Amino acid sequence: MAVSVEIKDLVKTFGETRAVDHITLTIEPGELFFLLGPSGCGKTTLLRCIAGFHQPESGSIHMGGDEVTRLPPHLRDTGMVFQSYALWPHMTVAQNVAFGLEMRKVGKAETAKRVKDALAMVKMSDRANHKPNQLSGGQQQRVALARALVIHPKCLLLDEPLSNLDAKLRLEMRTEIRRICKEAGLTAIYVTHDQKEALSVADRLAVLNGGVIEQCGTPQEVYLKPRSVFAAGFIGETNFLDGTVKKISGERMIISTPVAEWESIHGLDTFKEGDEVTLSLRPETLHLGDASPGQPNVVGGIVHDTVYLGEVAQHQVRIGGDGGRNLKVFDLNPRILARDGEQAASVWVDAQDVVILPRGNA
């Protein structure tokens, strides 16, 4: 049965480094939750605290309402999947999967049934008698998953499970991992630095930075409504412009930047006139060409560089004249190209896509 995982005010330090810095987080039963962030942000340390491999200095961890903070790993009912599959080379697939059950003294008949079910779930039933060296990387990771699932864990912990796979297999295994977790009805916590993996698979995710949670939410919430320059820049691509709140009137806010004025419908409850802010303009929300008459946020620009990719072109557009700024613009079904020259074009953005953030360094 799926359990909740509650982390309260958790701190884990290594010497001078506070790898986990007062993290509080609740993961709901059956949720597929991602810990996402750059190298060294503390995501593996947090996962290892949940697994019981690290002892935190303070704070608590509860699973299904029971405190597990000081329990050793084998008493926590967590299954762990690592980047390296760590399969026993001399054992068959079935023996590898059965190993954890034998350690737990589960009977022969029950073991056979559970191994069969776990291999069926990861679609490896026909390879039960193969050795790991007869399997591809993706198949080995499926076996590693089966090995974690077979003990019927309360919570599945995955540490960069797809990092060793090639790009095509990674894509395939992303959806497989989600299917398996949902079919098994498991609470799962998944560590990655790959934002596409997190956006495409997670129910919710937390962006970590320097041991603290920068933002937590659904993929769409974090992508569309980032709360900081760090979160906006880490997830997806964006253009940042520093500016100042010039005017708030009714449901709109005007931000002045050195290259143009921008109208936004966001941040009305958060910012006041005179505040220093940073704008985030996602490349796919910027459009080239004619806007409707009277439309705000239309800026003259020069397209001076284009990467043409067929269905989409990635343009560099200079706005604000000489000494102005470059904006990256993604143009679906592109008509304008500037591979070897320059082309004048207007850039426009809808006021709902102008995201305002507290001033920060990109």
Residues near ligand ATP, by CB under 6 A: 14, 17, 19, 37, 39-45, 193
Least distance from ligand ATP to the Cβ atom of residue 18, Å: 8
* Nearer residue to ligand ATP within complex by CB, 46 or 199: 46
CA–CA gap between residue 142 and residue 347 (Å, rounded)? 47
* Nearer residue to ligand ATP within complex by CB, 84 or 352: 84
Cβ-based neighbour number of residue 302 at 10 Å: 18
Q: For residue 76, how far is the Cα from the chain centroid?
A: 26
The torsion angles phi and psi of 23, rounded to 5 degrees, stand at -90, 130
Count CA within 13 A, CB hemisphere, residue 269: 0
CA–CA gap between residue 120 and residue 126 (Å, rounded)? 9
Least distance from ligand ATP to the Cβ atom of residue 320, Å: 37
Kindly state the greatest CA–CA separation across the chain: 77
- Contact between 56 and 103 under an 8 Å Cβ cutoff? The reply is no
One-letter amino acid for residue 346 of the chain: S
- Contact between 269 and 356 under an 8 Å Cβ cutoff? The reply is no
* Nearer residue to ligand ATP within complex by CB, 44 or 239: 44
Least distance from ligand ATP to the Cβ atom of residue 44, Å: 3
* Nearer residue to ligand ATP within complex by CB, 87 or 206: 206
Residue nearest to ligand ATP according to CB distances in the complex = 44
In DSSP notation, 57-91 reads SEEEEEETTEE-TTS-GGGS-EEEE-SS----TTS
Least distance from ligand ATP to the Cβ atom of residue 211, Å: 7
CA–CA gap between residue 103 and residue 70 (Å, rounded)? 22
* Nearer residue to ligand ATP within complex by CB, 49 or 349: 49
CA–CA gap between residue 294 and residue 305 (Å, rounded)? 28
* Nearer residue to ligand ATP within complex by CB, 42 or 219: 42
Beta strand 239-249 pairing with 187-192: unpaired
Least distance from ligand ATP to the Cβ atom of residue 49, Å: 10
Least distance from ligand ATP to the Cβ atom of residue 116, Å: 35
* Nearer residue to ligand ATP within complex by CB, 37 or 153: 37
Cβ-based neighbour number of residue 82 at 10 Å: 16
Least distance from ligand ATP to the Cβ atom of residue 254, Å: 39
